[in-house]
Structure 1
């Protein structure tokens, strides 16, 4: 059964405080974004004692425009790239009056409603930064925080890392040669079209944010140039008037079926070569999908000019590898993000080139009690995946689930890595790739096996 059809109605609101079972392992959740609140909700309803620490004063992470935690990449025209039914938590559908692809402010409101519906807002310590997470002498985890009450260190049996992976901006390395007289910003620091108004803008990158910013620049800037080093297959958000992702596939189907669906979608959307972009050097399904309803329109109108990769910067111009150039007084680098954990010792956990092998994208086999939530690049939405991960962890901490042997865990991790290597071209953006429906199906299968182990 595909995940989409599982959502029918909202679970009953939680109106009374859920008692805490102090005999259970104590947990810590880092972050109150979409993954952190999923974790907090499941731990709370399971009676697990826990603390949730949020650096800012807002719920919703990157979906909050100008989030007080200072790490959000949200901009004023941002909307989801997964349709509402596919993005929502399984027991809390988005409001029926939302558009097919909700705006950032609607997503933020949805997260606020989620927290209040299940009654766990009081478990979140706002304005509290996790400074350090390290192994305690007994194998548990010491977590040092700073906040309104000063600096505090507490010891936990489990730490759930939900600090997100779209906040530590990745700039071109090495930097392009030459000098530039204008302004350079990363897409992380883009907020509004006012930053583009009247400028000669060059947007660099082929992802969703790059296309959103290029489209907005085409209505605000003096000139808009879109520089693409490697062309992607750009899908449309709608097919025959319906959100294109609402044809959900059974999770047990092999990958080639998902890849075939992406190929069909890419073919139906049409080639980007007619707009001056080179043909992609990979097949549809071999990279993370990108979507846009308006980029073709703006390219066809000449409002956005497509160019290949940058060769060098030249004062008030940008020179491209085909010898062409464009005027520029603002470069927006939509060049992605690094996966980092500032509270973890890099000698303990590091994600070089964004590669952090995890079992089921959640469990670090060498560090028992340390879990990672939402650390995926999903062909689909992250929220239901983080929800499933959170439910799984809560079940583990309450004793309802027992994992397989260490040998099995490592064998599965290796097999998943080999599969990803076959499916996607080598890139930092593909180190965490998962197929939404298959991932949820596979995790539920493992949980059933783990419940059987727990009851035997």
Structure 2
């Protein structure tokens, strides 16, 4: 395994950022999954909450009326791992549709009293700090503006709203229709047309797969091959293959052995994959895309793979990286999304977000979004639930932040190159953030409960205090030496904590002594650090 990323600054037990035990006024901006769980948890702690939402309903990009997602999109996470910890889904597919996710989020808001605090049709235009007087939030509704003052602000406006586009688009008179994944409304309007889909990520694969059989021709422009795996892997949900700690074991698994194992698990699929020439021979185990259709359709000739998109000509003709050109009726750009627009936050820079969530100048301003420099993989609802819980724990003083100097130093080292994309495992982040917030079992005092959590299936209900214990291990954790992983986590704990665990019967003598034998440098921190970057050659490097 590559060396672990550098450890986080030491957390100090802080006094509350706001008045202890008081009822705070908290503004939440955005009623997508992040905003809904922020509001729900703040209400549960007795705070007064106003949730501003620019659209007419909850859901964010999962609101079909918002146009934030194309109609045929499905969750990459299964019904087992996608929901919030305390609200199981009902009547949803194994991998829910756009409409099912929206209905789930509305049910969540109704069940926990969030809808009454929502102000729909309110677009926040300005948030400014008024000295010791709190945060003044200005929102536009119709032709009017409302201003209110709050003790804290939780920004959950999302990050998937502004699609990236090439610098130069065809002339308006060019005989080609250019749209982004956000503007794609389904295959019907492309029937019988020659379509190029640009982008080798999940959206590009989804849209190219959906168009095959409807468009007269589907070309798929891929800059770099990625590892696509099906939602259903030999009858097992993709997200049930490994536990949290098993994902660390997978990262240490040699890539060629990983491909060999996939060939045994999915022989027909992997044979097709190899035949297409799209299977990455050097890989990054964790950065997996989920799509079960695109590889078979490339294999059967329903989708033709093209080199990386280079540019449009004025007449709409497309030039590829190998110098070839081709004309299309439609081009669907799936190039990801640009930086979120935080222009409504006065004097704000994203580079000043400690741990991507706390404004270092005043942590009563918090951003409950996915970090902007990441390509995230994993399930969103439990991840946002963990961030919101952390933010509220910091407000209340249950969890601490480093000194202002340490936060500044962290930001200078980690937030200076937001253009350099990295891989982000939302499942493992729920463990790290939950530990930071004090909302998960502390391995220093209750190692058994901690280990049961991280070595079991990734069902979110197990993340909440008092949630059910794991009844069985993840499907394929037996590929790894789980005892060795457990001993490496134990070895990372201070010796005094291990002594106390042994004396209290929380660990056995065998585990205690095995941890003493772990070689220096092989310890595994309980927050489960993982690689987040790749070199240009494809080999993983520390994040």
Does the pair score TM above 0.5?
yes
Please say if residues 358 and 367 of structure 2, whose CA atoms lie closer than 8 Å, have aligned partners that are also in contact: yes
208-217 or 313-322, which moves further after superposition? 313-322
What is the aligned counterpart of 1:245 among 234, 239, 249?
A: 239
Residues 112 and 364 of structure 1: is their aligned pair in 2 closer, same or farther, counting only changes over 3 Å?
Answer: same
Q: 2:527 maps to which residue?
A: none
Alpha-carbon offset, residue 393 of structure 1: 2.2
Q: 1:437 maps to which residue?
A: 427
What is the aligned counterpart of 1:135 among 129, 132, 137?
A: 129
Q: 1:172 maps to which residue?
A: 166
Residues 256 and 139 of structure 1: is their aligned pair in 2 closer, same or farther, counting only changes over 3 Å?
Answer: farther
Q: Structure 1, residues 307-337: CA drift from partner, whole Å, max 9, x if none?
A: 1012443546433233444440111000111
Supply the distance in 2 between the matched residues of 1:100 and 1:60 (Cα, whole angstroms).
Answer: 20
Q: 1:103 maps to which residue?
A: 97
Matches within 5 A, 1:132-211: 132-138=126-132, 140-148=134-142, 150-173=144-167, 180-211=174-205
Supply the distance in 2 between the matched residues of 1:114 and 1:261 (Cα, whole angstroms).
Answer: 41
Q: Structure 1, residues 240-290: CA drift from partner, whole Å, max 9, x if none?
A: 111111134235x7856446498876662638563254x64862247x431
Matched, 1:321 2:316: no
Supply the distance in 1 between the matched residues of 2:132 and 2:322 (Cα, whole angstroms).
Answer: 60
Supply the distance in 1 between the matched residues of 2:316 and 2:406 (Cα, whole angstroms).
Answer: 57
148-157 or 264-273, which moves further after superposition? 264-273
Alpha-carbon offset, residue 149 of structure 1: 7.9
Please say if residues 275 and 306 of structure 1, whose CA atoms lie closer than 8 Å, have aligned partners that are also in contact: no
Residues 211 and 390 of structure 1: is their aligned pair in 2 closer, same or farther, counting only changes over 3 Å?
Answer: same
Q: Give the TM-score, by structure 2 length.
A: 0.68
SS of corresponding position for 1:28? strand
Q: 1:225 maps to which residue?
A: 219
What is the aligned counterpart of 1:212 among 198, 201, 206?
A: 206
What is the aligned counterpart of 1:117 among 101, 111, 116?
A: 111
Matches within 5 A, 1:3-402: 23-67=22-66, 72-95=67-90, 97-138=91-132, 140-148=134-142, 150-173=144-167, 180-250=174-244, 255=248, 257-258=250-251, 260=253, 268=262, 270=270, 272=273, 274-275=275-276, 277=278, 280=280, 283-285=283-285, 288-313=287-312, 315=315, 317-344=317-344, 348-350=348-350, 356=351, 358-376=353-371, 377-402=375-400
Supply the distance in 1 between the matched residues of 2:403 and 2:247 (Cα, whole angstroms).
Answer: 25
Supply the distance in 2 between the matched residues of 1:443 and 1:387 (Cα, whole angstroms).
Answer: 10
Q: Give the TM-score, by structure 1 length.
A: 0.80
Q: 1:13 maps to which residue?
A: none
Supply the distance in 1 between the matched residues of 2:252 and 2:61 (Cα, whole angstroms).
Answer: 29
Supply the distance in 1 between the matched residues of 2:255 and 2:62 (Cα, whole angstroms).
Answer: 26
Matches within 5 A, 1:442-453: 442-448=432-438
Larger Rg: 2
Please say if residues 26 and 49 of structure 1, whose CA atoms lie closer than 8 Å, have aligned partners that are also in contact: yes
SS of corresponding position for 1:152? strand
Residues 296 and 374 of structure 1: is their aligned pair in 2 closer, same or farther, counting only changes over 3 Å?
Answer: same
Please say if residues 131 and 342 of structure 1, whose CA atoms lie closer than 8 Å, have aligned partners that are also in contact: no
Q: 1:16 maps to which residue?
A: none
Matches within 5 A, 1:400-415: 400-409=398-407
Please say if residues 259 and 284 of structure 1, whose CA atoms lie closer than 8 Å, have aligned partners that are also in contact: no
Structure 1 gap ranges (5+): 1-20, 351-355
SS of corresponding position for 1:220? coil
Residues 229 and 275 of structure 1: is their aligned pair in 2 closer, same or farther, counting only changes over 3 Å?
Answer: same
Supply the distance in 2 between the matched residues of 1:209 and 1:409 (Cα, whole angstroms).
Answer: 35
Please say if residues 276 and 307 of structure 1, whose CA atoms lie closer than 8 Å, have aligned partners that are also in contact: no
Residues 340 and 273 of structure 1: is their aligned pair in 2 closer, same or farther, counting only changes over 3 Å?
Answer: same
SS of corresponding position for 1:86? coil
Residues 381 and 110 of structure 1: is their aligned pair in 2 closer, same or farther, counting only changes over 3 Å?
Answer: same
Structure 2 gap ranges (5+): 1-19, 263-268, 443-543
Residues 312 and 173 of structure 1: is their aligned pair in 2 closer, same or farther, counting only changes over 3 Å?
Answer: closer
Q: Structure 1, residues 121-158: CA drift from partner, whole Å, max 9, x if none?
A: 10100010001112223373221101158201222221
Supply the distance in 2 between the matched residues of 1:73 and 1:347 (Cα, whole angstroms).
Answer: 28
Pairs aligned (count): 411
Q: 1:9 maps to which residue?
A: none
Alpha-carbon offset, residue 235 of structure 1: 2.0
Please say if residues 76 and 231 of structure 2, whose CA atoms lie closer than 8 Å, have aligned partners that are also in contact: yes
Matches within 5 A, 1:414-429: 429=421
**What do you get for the CA RMSD once the two structures are aligned?**
3.4
Please say if residues 132 and 344 of structure 1, whose CA atoms lie closer than 8 Å, have aligned partners that are also in contact: yes
Q: 1:3 maps to which residue?
A: none
Please say if residues 229 and 290 of structure 2, whose CA atoms lie closer than 8 Å, have aligned partners that are also in contact: yes
Supply the distance in 2 between the matched residues of 1:256 and 1:357 (Cα, whole angstroms).
Answer: 34
Please say if residues 317 and 326 of structure 1, whose CA atoms lie closer than 8 Å, have aligned partners that are also in contact: yes
Supply the distance in 2 between the matched residues of 1:59 and 1:446 (Cα, whole angstroms).
Answer: 29
